[in-house]
Amino acid sequence: MTILANLSLNDVGPILKVVQQSLQIRTHYELFNWLQEDIQHFMPHDIVIAAWGDFSLGLISYDIVSPIPGLRTEAFDNHTIQPFIATLFNRWMGFDHIPFAINSGKGFDLNEARNPDIQKTMKRMRCALVHGIKDQRGRHDCLYVLLGPEELGTTRSKETFRFLMPYLDTSFRQIAHLPEQYLHDLRPMAPQEPTLGFAPVGKESGLSTREHDIMEWVRKGKTNQEIGMILDISTFTVKNHLQRIFKKLDVMNRAQAVSKMEGPRATRN
């Protein structure tokens, strides 16, 4: 079964419009209008939850888009929405990365939600349509959840969701983070003082505090993307830091840098 088997000729124009509009979105306002006008034609919903990051590490950011008053990203609490998102992501993985729907007669429960209005709203949602993108290279996965009070899990909706997923993902990627979407409380704490045995900052290593922090995570085996997520900097910035570190330490790669950083400690011990 494909999307072509579930769309009429009258749907071709609207779906091409959805695709075209997705490539032009640059602001949250444009994203909101696109979701409410174009996407609604194929997948009626009240709430969209977008979550992205490294789900295996629990380093997840999210965005909530909805016309319901008060239902905004900043209104949600990390500790209540994260388990909900993680559960859906694991279930999506179990479905072999294809769209799936959940019908819940009692609505959805965000355990211990601090905002009672959110809890009431989620209880009114009877169906969730879930799909995502598994990033095999960068481990920066994305999950999208459409919630509504009516049936969302028709074959037509699932196939349309699958077809439009790259464009939905592109739309969210083209808008800037909101302040509350950066990883704060959930990210592992970066070392504030030299830990785990590396030479003290500014002494044997000759590295800045930031460079030293990056090397601590390199020693733990983290990738550039993971380090960027942990420290709230871009992967490109991590790469530039590492190039400067290699130059300061007079080494060619990560393994040599770690070995050289651990050398003074081994001597002292």
Rounded CA-CA distance 167/23 in Å is 7
Query: What is the distance between the terminal CA atoms of the chain, rounded to a whole angstrom?
Result: 65
Question: Are the CB atoms for 214 and 231 separated by under 8 Å?
Answer: yes
Rounded CA-CA distance 198/220 in Å is 12
CATH fit for domain 3-181, picks 1.10.3720.10, 3.40.1180.10, 3.90.76.10, 3.30.450.80:
3.30.450.80
Q: Which amino acid is at 253?
A: N
DSSP string, 108-140: ---TT-S-HHHHHHHHH--EEEEEEE--TTT--
For residue 135, the model assigns a pLDDT of: 84
Low pLDDT (below 70) residues in the chain? 1-2, 4, 111-114, 139, 177-205, 263-269
For the chain, the domains span 3-181, 209-268
pTM for the whole thing? 0.68
Q: Where are the alpha helices (DSSP H) in 182-253?
A: 209-219, 224-231, 235-249
For residue 67, the model assigns a pLDDT of: 94
Fold of domain 209-268: Arc Repressor Mutant, subunit A (1.10.10)
Looking at the DSSP bridge assignments, the partners of residue 65 are: 48
pLDDT in tens, 151-177: 898 988 999 999 999 999 999 999 886
For residue 149, the model assigns a pLDDT of: 94
Q: Count of CB atoms within 10 A of residue 233's CB? A: 15
For residue 245, the model assigns a pLDDT of: 92
Report how far Cα 50 is from the mean position of its chain's Cα atoms.
Answer: 7
